[in-house]
Amino acid sequence: FERTTFNPLMNTEFCVVMQARPLRAMLPLRRQARSPQSDTKKERVVILGSGWGGYTLSRRLSKKNYAPLIISPRSYFVFTPLLTNTASGSLDFSNIVEPVRDPRAKVDFIQAAARAVNLKKKTLLCEATVVKSGVTESPRTAEKERRTEEGPETTNMKPMQAQRQWEQGETFEVPYDKLVIAVGAVSQTFGTPGVRENAMFFKDIGDAKRVKRRVRECFELAVLPLTTPEMRKWLLNFAIVGAGPTGIELAASLRDFIYSDMMALYPSLDELPKITLYDVAPNVLSMFDESLSRYAMETMKREGIDIKTSHHVKSLRWGPPGAPPPYHIDPKRCLTLTTEENGEMGVGMCVWATGNAMPKFITESLDLVEEFPTDSVYSIGSSSKEPENSGNASWKFKKAPKKGPLLVDGHLHVQLQNEKGQTAVLQDVFALGDNAMPENGAPPATAQATYQESKWLADRLNKGDMAHTPPFSFRNLGTMAYIGDERALMQIPHKGDRGSNSFLPEGIKGRTASLIWKMAYISMSISWRNKLRVAFRWILNRFFGRDVSRF
């Protein structure tokens, strides 16, 4: 790694300043005056992440008082509720993304991943990720990194190591006045053998592309003349692990895609394709009322989705059931998924959607903080929050709990704890979204909650009186899920949450709910361009079918 320094007063195109080169050679700066970064009176708010938290906050912060800078490995925002629609060809990938760079938004951007925070100097260590493939951290990239770190850099370097060498970006430091951490979460694998290496995950556009491509690939492999009937059956068995909203919506969207569009292309494979949904819990969609969750199970079973609740996945490997080791990656064949209950089962693809784990940045970067500048800690106290000793440099504070999200107070300030149970509240460091856990009650890890948190934080920062405002509280506006064949579920908050006079029912299901689901997501799409594109694509699909192309 070459350590370099980022100068926030410079245009971002010239932000990576090699220390060995003379400074004057680095001053390109015609465009500097137009950049919001050049106004030193404004506070520099560095926002980590361009997802629901980071993107929303950056757009809502007042540009009069603040100069927001997004640092993210991803140069776009993804409207995740419609990600399953892109994997099933109902929408184009571009219909659900918004570019982070937009001159009208007056937000600066650096395509990089934050690696460490120096709370005393108020700087971040970042790694440029512009040319890195697979931009977000997934369990698979973590595995890739681990394997690369293990291997010595010799001339006999394996192809993966050689590839990682050019993928590794320069590191540089970025100063901040205020820091907002919204790096989201990665997929949880529970250490299940083979899952990191062989499963697909479903968090980003790249994941949706991979899923769509693999489904098409399995159909083409299945019709090859050499493919045996047994292998054909396995290749066309698509497994999804995790029956939460993501797993359910993906199963439902793939079911529509396969039964309505793919079967028209492959009539000889009639009756063979199968979607199997696994979960350890006895029910699907546990956040919905029991009657709605039961309706979802019954409807999806009727649609032909095999729902295997109370099933424990033990391992996932390449090769057909019964094949002897070694098990090498072989996309030309199927995988074997083993459950405690049913033993080995051949599958063409396994998508793993079992919940959230914290990315490395959250679990490690605030792991051990020994010194605080007094002005960035406004209270250090016992668990009763009595101030004890502000800015004590000898205590060692850690993020708590070790593997979980960042603990934040009601105003979304990050809290650290030491062994004595004392708490440090960082005045200038905030966290929100999937990587944060408010101490006064964690909202669900959803776009709805993250959006509310970032809107709340932007309003409070814009008003400038954090101390005197009531803490953030989550307002449940309801939950929706698409369950296939133009049917959906809609859970409206319980009467206690919406006032006893509410005339609304507690749940809507079926085609009416599907219509509301569509209207809601069209209206919630960020730009007018995407609102219109989504609406038109859904109408066009009715006449011309979904997009079945494979790139």
Contact between 81 and ligand FAD per CB under 6 A: yes
Nearer to ligand FAD, 333 or 460 (CB): 460
In angstroms, the CA 499 to CA 11 distance is 51
- Other CB atoms within a 10 A radius of the CB of residue 159 amount to 7
Nearer Cβ to ligand FAD (73/169)? 73
Residue number with the smallest Cβ distance to ligand FAD: 51
Applying CB under 6 A, among 108, 409, 428, 434 the residue interacting with ligand FAD is 434
Nearest distance from C-beta of residue 115 to ligand FAD, angstroms: 7
Distance separating alpha carbons of residues 54 and 9, to the nearest angstrom: 22
Smallest distance, ligand FAD to C-beta of residue 393, A: 27
Query: Are 90 and 257 spatial neighbours (Cβ–Cβ below 8 Å)?
Result: yes
Residue 301 neighbours by CB distance under 10 Å? 12
Which residue stretch of 171-179, 180-188, 423-431, 522-530 sits at the interface with ligand FAD (rule: CB under 6 A)? 180-188
Segment near ligand FAD (CB under 6 A), from 34-42, 172-180, 316-324, 431-439? 431-439
Q: Does 346 bind ligand FAD (CB under 6 A)?
A: no
Query: Do 129 and 183 form a contact (C-beta atoms < 8 A)?
Result: no
Burial class (CB in 10 A: 0-12, 13-18, 19+), 19: exposed
Q: For the chain, how are helix, strand and coil distributed in percent, rounded to 5?
A: 35, 25, 40
Question: From the list 51, 194, 348, 443, which residue makes contact with ligand FAD (rule: CB under 6 A)?
Answer: 51
**How many Å apart are CA 357 and CA 189, to the nearest integer?**
8
Verify binding: residue 362, ligand FAD, rule CB under 6 A: no
Residue 336 or 454: which CB sits closer to ligand FAD?
454
DSSP code, position 369: B
446 in contact with ligand FAD (CB under 6 A): yes
Nearer residue to ligand FAD within complex by CB, 346 or 484? 484
Taking the complex as a whole, the smallest distance from the CB of residue 51 to ligand FAD amounts, in Å, to: 2
Pick between residue 74 and residue 164 the one whose CB is nearest to ligand FAD.
74
Query: What string marks each residue from 99 to 138 as x (binds ligand FAD by CB under 6 A) or -?
Result: --------------xx---------------------xx-
* Inter-residue contact 534 to 95 (CB < 8 Å): yes
Strands 178-181 and 423-431: parallel
Bridge partners (DSSP) of residue 16 are: 6
CB-based contact 57:452 (threshold 8 Å): no
| Dist CA 202 CA 206 (whole Å) | 9
400 near ligand FAD, judged by CB under 6 A: no
- Tell me which stretch binds ligand FAD (CB under 6 A): 178-186, 257-265, 392-400, 467-475: 178-186
How many of the other CB atoms lie within 10 Å of CB of 194? 20
Of the residues 4, 11, 50, 293, which one makes contact with ligand FAD according to CB under 6 A: 50
# binding residues, ligand FAD (CB under 6 A): 36
Which is closer to ligand FAD, CB of 234 or CB of 352?
352
405 touches ligand FAD by CB under 6 A: no
User: Rule CB under 6 A: is residue 80 a binding residue for ligand FAD?
Assistant: yes
Find the binding residues for ligand FAD in span 272-311 (CB under 6 A). none
Q: Minimum distance from CB of 139 to ligand FAD (Å)?
A: 13
Distance CA 350, CA 377 (A): 46
| 169 part of the interface to ligand FAD, by CB under 6 A | no
Residue with tokens 């932000």: 15
User: Binding to ligand FAD (CB under 6 A): which residues in 203-242?
Assistant: 203
Q: Could you tell me which of 141, 232, 182, 125 has the C-alpha nearest to residue 454? A: 182
How far is residue 146's CA from residue 144's CA, in Å, rounded to a whole number?
Answer: 5
Residue 141 CB, nearest approach to ligand FAD (Å): 10
* C-beta closer to ligand FAD: residue 422 or 435: 435
Residue 223 CB coordination number (10 Å):
13
The single residue among 361, 372, 395, 430 that binds ligand FAD, judged by CB under 6 A, is: 361
On the 0-12 / 13-18 / 19+ scale of CB atoms within 10 A, 54 is: buried
Determine, following the binding rule CB under 6 A, whether residue 525 of this chain makes contact with ligand FAD. no
- Give me 261's structure tokens: 């569009």
Q: How far apart are the first and last CA of the chain?
A: 34
Element containing residue 56 per DSSP (H, E):
helix 52-60
CB nearer ligand FAD, residue 183 or residue 377: 183
Contact stretch for ligand FAD (CB under 6 A) within 156-164, 263-271, 421-429, 447-455 = 447-455
CB of 26 to ligand FAD, least distance (A): 24
Provide the minimum distance between the beta carbon of 435 and ligand FAD in the complex, in angstroms, as a whole number: 6
Helix (H), strand (E) at residue 533: helix 528-544
By the rule CB under 6 A, 73 interacts with ligand FAD: yes
Q: Is 359 in the site for ligand FAD (CB under 6 A)?
A: yes
- Cα separation, 45 vs 458, in Å, equals 11
Beta-carbon neighbour count of residue 154 at 10 Å?
8
Residue from 6, 176, 202, 234 touching ligand FAD (CB under 6 A): that is 202
| Out of 10, 16, 61, 71, the residue judged to bind ligand FAD by CB under 6 A | 71
Interface region with ligand FAD, contact rule CB under 6 A, candidates 76-84, 150-158, 188-196, 266-274? 76-84
Residue 7 falls in which region: left (phi positive, over 0), alpha (psi -120 to 50) or beta: beta
3-state secondary structure of 299: helix
Cα(313)–Cα(223) distance, integer angstroms: 29
| Residue among 54 and 348 whose Cβ is closer to ligand FAD | 54
Cis peptide before 326 (omega within 30 of 0): yes
Site string for ligand FAD, 242-261 (x = CB under 6 A): ---xx---------------
Alpha helix (H) residue ranges in 400-469: 447-463
Q: Which residues bind ligand FAD (CB under 6 A)?
A: 48-54, 71-74, 80-81, 83-84, 113-114, 136-137, 182-184, 202-203, 245-246, 359, 361, 433-435, 445-448, 450
